[in-house]
Structure 1
């Protein structure tokens, strides 16, 4: 692992704490046989169980929309990069080979912790949809703080954290206030909107948030989070706000691995949650259960089609998760509610 995560002062420490310890790897399936032949995309027999993710090459930008890109305007990113939008750099860890991240080789955070006191609800108003909870999932997680001597420990102890913790291995999973409001009836815009914050959506099947997919891989470079730091087996882990001991669990990537409703094999994936603009985020399967690839999605990682929406079938814009970077929404087709 490229562990050169030296501090750049408080801003870098906050950013590393928010992004590196919180990998949200949005993913789907690539067949290893096809990857060996150099194919860009591939299908497996069950697209709900990916074997490989395809990441991005060195030099991939963040300052514009595009298929396979992530369009970001998160202030902490430019602050870390001398006022310039960062670009991605490839990293080398045991589970990464070139542009391919192999699920079977990820050194997951160990443990099987349950959370019986979780709370989450969706409140529908006339024009808004509000999500309120305590950021505890309805599935098992790894054991955090990460224990010394476990496979993931060396990666977490190398990542800085914010007070009261010195390094990211010390951060626990704790109850943490979740309160996000999005438009109930989002409007499609032909010009995409950049993502200007850490959280990119809410997974309503579990009550946990997704985060943007970028993290420091050294003091001066940025990378795909799942290439840098291993998550737990449900593809989540915690971060803490500066000066607070609570650790908020969240996802990167194969977030739906532990979702209770994966859908039926030969049907479109069910609704997994919502982006900040209010449009739905669905799983990796399109009509007929076919794996959706980046070639079938637009620059924001979505498209128009018939989906289940508030109990009805509706033709509308929606996002998909899959195994090709950025694994989920790369920009926003609607407008988030400011201050919500």
Structure 2
């Protein structure tokens, strides 16, 4: 089968905290949903598998393509490691209100409880309203007893690390880190293929029927990393026209490429697929058999067998480039 860089049909998710930035900033029409809080752009999650939108493979599911093309699509070592489940999930998140305070289990706990992978993730802030903030980790030394005392007294946020953020900020969130995205943020998220979230506190919100969302207070206790860290924001070089490594972990590596000129990428040394998430500008991706236009908010999956691509631009662009090393 002749593989090529793939775009997928966007999967829209209605959320109680969603807004309109998916439509207003990323120009994705989520009608008739009243509020779109998330889009899933590349997904191998069994309940929401992405479907190819471009080229001769249009209409084919990512799961079916992976079963047939295996290492040719995601890399030989990746296929040996992950099998027929695509290993990364790419989302955009529009927080028109604060998301719940939550935590995700690691691989060991997720396998034990859910027969699933854990959830390590990263956030890239595309847009931030003035004063918008998020929570990542603890603001002081905490143990299980201190955490429970604050939680039971209704003062959990007193010990959480709240940071005001701006466009371009990156946060890496290993499984176990307590967190939430605050009101007024548009985020690109790259994560392990997992949809397991332990919701700790949801600000006593109710849905249209007056029901509160389920909490997972007890389950979260075994998942939380109670360690305090001096810094939670990811520091990275913001030099233009160079490939900058921002995040590297066993589950994915993400580069930031901020360019005002054409750029060539050689992936021949990688035994991995590559994902482009366009967070600013636009470009045309040229590959040996063709080309594809990429706009802000577009996500591409470049198969492991595609070794060299050219990014041609008249506007400049910024992309998140992710793969599994």
Q: Give the alignment's TM-score, normalised by structure 2.
A: 0.27
Q: Which has the higher strand share?
A: 2
Q: Select the structure of larger CA radius of gyration.
A: 2
Q: Give the alignment's TM-score, normalised by structure 1.
A: 0.26
Higher relative contact order (CA 8 A, sep 6+): 1
